[in-house]
Amino acid sequence: MNLRTISTITLSVAFAVLLITGVLLYATPYNYFVGSLHIWGAVLFLACIVLHIKHNAKTYKNHMQKRPGKWSMGLAIAGIVPLVMGLIFNLPPVSSVATFGYNLKKSAEQDKREYTIIDLSADASSPKLHVFFKAGREYHSAPQELFLSLTYTSTPQIVVWMETLEGKYIDTLYITGKTSDSSYRSKDPAIDVVRRPEALPYWSHKRGIKSVDGLYTPDQHNSDLDGIAAATPKVDYQVTMSAPRMGRYKLMVEVNRTYDFNDYYSKTRFPDDAIYSGTGSSGQPSLIYESIIDSQKPGQHLFNLVGHGHHSGRDGSLYTELDNVTTAKQILEFIVANVE
């Protein structure tokens, strides 16, 4: 058996390996063995192609010198160009084939339950309270233009605090970083600090500390929120906090995200409200959730939506009418507290 016969048969086997493993990689989640076999099949295929061309160089050259050979080469190249362009510009039906394969893989994958853990339980002797935030489909805003075609997305501002069953403020347990010290930034480089009283107004009025500018939202000089602030994670997350054993109490959560305008809370809804209309990013008001906790009984507690804050943070009232609030209800899919 000569080398030409060996290379031809091996080429056929390598092609079969590439075909089978290619279909598996296209339609099923990635498998190390299948992927490795596909790579080595490709190496073997290329080696056999080189040998095949070497042993058939004269015949190949004769084909290319004739008109049918030249037309065949031209058609082959012309066929590759629309495939490349279709993939680059995401044009169907070329992109549809790739998308279909991607969806097949995703449907066969197991659901990943990854989440970030923020541990604020400084006191190891105190019981632990875990609050889990499940990100909803409106957790991230649509991309917002920054400058030079650069964009960014916003994530929610969130605060967790304790109240008596009668609604008296006790203490704040966790707050996202930007609201804790007003570290918002403006697109205008001339503006150093942006104050957003509309971010978490219900909690800020409950907290009851007024800054020198007359606003209840925390400023850069507060000290009562040290050690309980953290940046908003990009995914689902759990906050672990120290919670005293104090019987039954309300655990409260307030959530807000910018750029979530809807038909009612539009950019032009309150033209005379300088806070709401001043920055063009307020959108729907903050949402307030509550759960009744019995610190003496370990267990899980689901939070319920009970109302919203003022759209520009003018007061600390709880507004229970929620008909005009739409997508903001999907910022978080659910919130659950786990008492140890």
Burial group, residue 57, by CB count within 10 angstroms (0-12, 13-18, 19+): exposed
pLDDT at residue 323, rounded to an integer: 96
pLDDT at residue 52, rounded to an integer: 77
**pLDDT(245) > 70:** yes
| d(C-alpha 162, C-alpha 309), whole Å | 17
Which of 73-82, 181-190, 197-206, 296-305 has the least mean pLDDT?
181-190
| d(C-alpha 14, C-alpha 42), whole Å | 7
pLDDT at residue 324, rounded to an integer: 97
| CA-closest candidate to residue 193, choices 180, 202, 184 | 184
| d(C-alpha 104, C-alpha 121), whole Å | 43
| d(C-alpha 146, C-alpha 153), whole Å | 10
Q: Which residues contact 43 (CB under 8 A, 6 or more apart)?
A: none
Kindly report, residue by residue over 130-162, the tens digit of the pLDDT.
999 999 999 999 887 766 667 778 899 999 999
| d(C-alpha 252, C-alpha 301), whole Å | 12
**pLDDT(26) > 90:** no
Residue 62: phi, psi to the nearest 5?
A: -65, -40
Q: Which two tokens stand for residue 75?
A: 């058609």
Q: Which residues contact 36 (CB under 8 A, 6 or more apart)?
A: none
Kindly report, residue by residue over 166-201, the tens digit of the pLDDT.
999 999 999 998 898 887 766 666 666 778 899 999
pLDDT at residue 209, rounded to an integer: 94
154, 185, 204, 281 from 144: Cα distances, Å: 8, 14, 27, 10
pLDDT at residue 250, rounded to an integer: 96
Kindly report, residue by residue over 199-236, the tens digit of the pLDDT.
999 999 999 999 999 999 999 888 889 889 998 888 89
User: Could you check whether the bond before residue 93 is cis, i.e. omega within 30 degrees of 0?
Assistant: yes
pLDDT at residue 203, rounded to an integer: 97
Yes or no: say if 175 and 159 are a contact pair by the CB < 8 Å rule.
yes
Q: Where residue 112 falls among pLDDT bands split at 50, 70, 90?
A: low
